[in-house]
Chain A
Amino acid sequence: MKDFSGYVLFLDRSDINTDEIIPAKYLTEPDRENLGPYLLEDLELEGFDRTRDLQGRSVILTRANFGCGSSREHAPWALEINGFHMVIAESFARIFRQNMFNCGMLTVELPGETIDSLFSKYRGSEAYVTAEVDKSLLTISNTQSKDEISFHISGYDKELVKANGWVEYADLRY
């Protein structure tokens, strides 16, 4: 199982799509590793500077419908290559969410009010998140505050995270 902890990148917008996460022109790259430099290249968001903000972060906190649009699994791959294993959001697009779990990565859905309060309390600080999948517990903290938040993860999603993805799981079973 991957390590689901790290410093948080705050992306304060809903409907961030997979074209913004990794533009289509890079889908011709023969190796996943080559996607690294292009993560979030087309995301235009006030205050977001990708050359500065991606450094040292491994958790994304964002709003609703993250990962909408294209089915490209290059989106989770580009995240993973840059050290991001977890995205916390109010909601996710179906295919992106499934792709994350299929790769053994984690998405956490929290109510809109909780996301709001996390943004207002932690944005602008060096916030650190730890997710314990077995306890369905998320801990977020900075130098001033600490919150523990329980989240829902289905049995199936938990199995995929533990198995580190869907291929091995399915090949043994079907």
Chain B
Amino acid sequence: MGQTITQKIFHSHLVDKPFDEVSVLRLDRVFCHEITTPVAITDLVRKNKDRVFDPDKIKAVIDHVSPAKDSKTARQGKIMREWAGRHGITDFFDIGRNGVCHALFPEKGFVRPGFTIIMGDSHTCTHGAFGAFAAGVGTTDLEVGILKGVCAFKDPGTIKVTIEGSLEPGVFAKDVILSVIRELTVNGATNQVLEFEGETVDRMTMEERMTLCNMAVEAGATCGICKPDMTTVNYLWEFIKEDFSSREAALDSFARFLPDPDADYSRTLHFDAGSVEPMVTHGYKPDNVIPVSSMQGRKVDQVYIGSCTNGRIEDLRVAAAILKNRTVSDSLRAIVSPATTWVYNQALKEGILQTFMDAGFCVTNPTCGACLGMSNGVLAEGEVAAATTNRNFNGRMGKGGMVHLMSPATAAATAVTGVICNSELFSNKRSIS
């Protein structure tokens, strides 16, 4: 029997098999942010184990509340900063050089096909877009990862998600993943990896693949994973060109992680990209997904464009194209939070930030902020948000608030009209006057 990508990565990183169903893996990367890491650091110090397994394999950032909003968040940043300093963790991204972890770390070239990665953050599954096994863990697993460079996993199964056909104009990776989650439900992929493949995925950019993999956890999945190909190599080339004689040689090397044709999948799902419409969530579960056309006209109080799902440059370009020469509806306020310092700067250079500002958007610095109700756009009780984020849980963006998840295009169109609506990009349906 052949192997999936995940099985190949597990076999190449296996340190121990303490029990039949459990694999202890060697880690290539441990990513850290200031919400879940300080507790691990404090605990290691208290246990007299304030060590790191390899400072070069640990990458750290302050992103969830940036800049600090109060003494408590300032203290979390301070713990991170001092810890990175005393252990020689040189890839520490402080305020001014930072960004939302799952946008920043790929941008810095820290992810490779075949890598094993953990982070104390459930959306770590994003990095599977590069053909890596990347999983969110709790603080205890993170602590052991920092200390020993290993993590234990129950051997996951793999669900193959094949997506074929062409997306209609105005339909994006976000709409695809929302459709996949609707089909799988919020626990349909628990203890499974979602292996995304098919011609639609092959044609996607790395940013689109990251959007796809980012929300795998909303179906319960351990990781979302895409097959490494020339798109992956091209994205990474500036970081790997010293390691390979050519792009083809890099691709050849990464091919050892490709799934075998006779690999064993626990389930196979097929999606016709051509039939996917722009989608939006309702209620408080990310599998409550309906076409935007079914929720057309729903009034919102705040539009939020950003997050590890949809705060990258391609997302901002799409939104800006819709916002150009238009203004945000008087009935709402709108916020854009470019995911990283680079995205911010690039958007500035391309005139995208000017477009957002001319439209009446508040442009914030890169941070996770409002996505989890931390800062920079928390909702009041009873308010409704149209957001490009990944979770619509009750209270997620502020106690008593409701979040509708959607693509940047839908969010931008909604900002202009004041109500949830399809963007003009979708099948040329002119829903904006």
Indicate whether A and B interact. Answer: yes
Q: Which residues of A5-59 are within 8 A (CB) of B?
A: 15, 17, 19-20, 23-25, 27-30, 32, 42, 44
B393 in contact with A155 (CB, 8 Å): no
Residues in B with CB closer than 8 Å to A25 are 373-374
- Whether A60 sits at the interface, judged by CB under 8 Å, is no
Q: Is the CB of B141 within 8 A of A30?
A: no
Does B121 interact with chain A (Cβ within 8 Å)?
yes
| Residues 43-89 (chain A) with a chain B CB within 8 angstroms | 44, 64-65, 68-73, 76
| Interface members, chain B 179-225 (any A CB < 8 Å) | 186-187, 190-191, 220, 222
Tell me whether B399 and A167 are in contact (CB under 8 A).
Answer: no
Pick the interface stretch among B72-80, B323-331, B416-424: B72-80
Q: Which residue of B lies closest to A76 (CB)?
A: B138
Chain B 273-295 residues near chain A, CB threshold 8 A = 285
Chain A residues near B65: list those with CB within 8 A.
28
Whether A170 and B187, one on each chain, are in contact in the complex, defined by CB atoms closer than 8 angstroms, is no
Is B187 a contact of A65 with CB atoms below 8 Å?
Answer: yes
CA distance A138 to B24 in the complex (A): 30
Asked if A173 CB lies within 8 Å of chain B CBs, one says yes
Q: Which B83-133 residues have a C-beta within 8 angstroms of A? A: 120-122, 124
Q: Is the CB of B393 within 8 A of A29?
A: no
- Decide yes or no: A23 and B399 within 8 Å by CB, A15-B285, A95-B136 being known contacts: yes
Contact residue among B15, B373, B374 (Cβ-Cβ distance under 8 Å from A174)? B15
Q: Indicate if the CB atoms of A64 and B395 lie closer than 8 Å.
A: no
Contact B147 A71 (CB under 8 A): no
Give every chain A residue within 8 A of B35 (Cβ-Cβ): 27-28, 72
**B267 touches A (CB below 8 Å):** no
The CA-CA distance from A72 to B40 in the complex, in Å, is: 12
A42-B399 CB under 8 A given contacts A69-B122, A174-B15? yes
Residues on the B chain within 8 Å of A103, using CB: 140
Q: How many A-B residue pairs have CB under 8 A?
A: 140
Q: Which residues of B contact A27 (CB under 8 A)?
A: 35-36, 64
**Contact partner of B140 among A64, A68, A73, A154, CB < 8 A?**
A73
Contacts A68-B220, A103-B140, A156-B21 known; A24 to B374 CB distance under 8 Å?
Answer: yes
**Residues of A close to B396: CB separation below 8 A:** 19, 24
Task: Report whether A19 and B139 are in contact in the complex, using a CB–CB cutoff of 8 Å.
Answer: no
Q: B272 contacts the other chain (Cβ, under 8 Å)?
A: no
A side interface size, CB within 8 A: 44
Q: How many residues of B contact A (CB 8 A)?
A: 54
Q: Within the assembled complex, what's the spacing in Å between the Cα atoms of A72 and B138?
A: 6
Instruction: Give Cα distance in the complex from A154 to B329, angstroms.
Output: 56
How far is the CB of B133 from the nearest CB of chain A, in Å? Answer: 14
Task: Knowing A70-B122, A71-B138, A156-B18 are in contact, say whether A171-B191 is a contact too (CB < 8 A).
Answer: no
B393 touches A102 (CB 8 A): no
Q: Interface readout for B16-33 with A: 1 if CB under 8 Å, 0 if not? A: 101101101000000000
Chain A 149-172 per-residue mask, 1 if CB under 8 angstroms from chain B, else 0: 000001110010000011100110
Contact residues of A between 86 and 121, Cβ < 8 Å to B = 91-96, 98-99, 102-103
Q: Cα distance A92–B154 when bound, in Å?
A: 14
Question: A83–B47 Cα gap in the complex (Å)?
Answer: 24
Q: Which residues of B contact A93 (CB under 8 A)?
A: 187, 190, 220
Given A32-B39, A70-B122, are A23 and B395 neighbors across the interface (CB < 8 Å)? yes
Q: Check A42/B395 contact, CB under 8 A, given A28-B65, A65-B186, A91-B187.
A: yes
* B36 and A72 within 8 A (CB): yes
Question: Contacts A19-B394, A156-B19: A71 and B373 contacting too (C-beta < 8 A)?
Answer: no
- The answer to whether B270 has its CB under 8 Å from any CB of chain A is no
Beyond A24-B373, A71-B122, A94-B222, whether A173 also contacts B16 by CB under 8 A is: yes
Shortest C-beta distance, B187 to chain A (Å), equals: 4
Contact call A98/B137, Cβ cutoff below 8 A: yes
* CB contact under 8 A between A102 and B391, given known A28-B73, A30-B75, A65-B220: no
A152 to chain B, nearest CB (A): 12
Question: Which chain A positions have C-beta within 8 A of B144?
Answer: 166-167, 170-171
Tell which of A93, A94, A167, A174 has the most Cβ of chain B within 10 Å: A94
User: With A and B bound together, what is the CA distance between A131 and B49 in angstroms?
Assistant: 33
Task: Give me 6 A-to-B residue pairs in the complex whose CB atoms sit less than 8 angstroms apart, sorted by A's number.
Answer: A15-B285, A32-B39, A65-B220, A68-B187, A93-B187, A166-B141
A-B pairs with lowest CB-CB distance, top 3: A73-B138, A99-B138, A102-B140
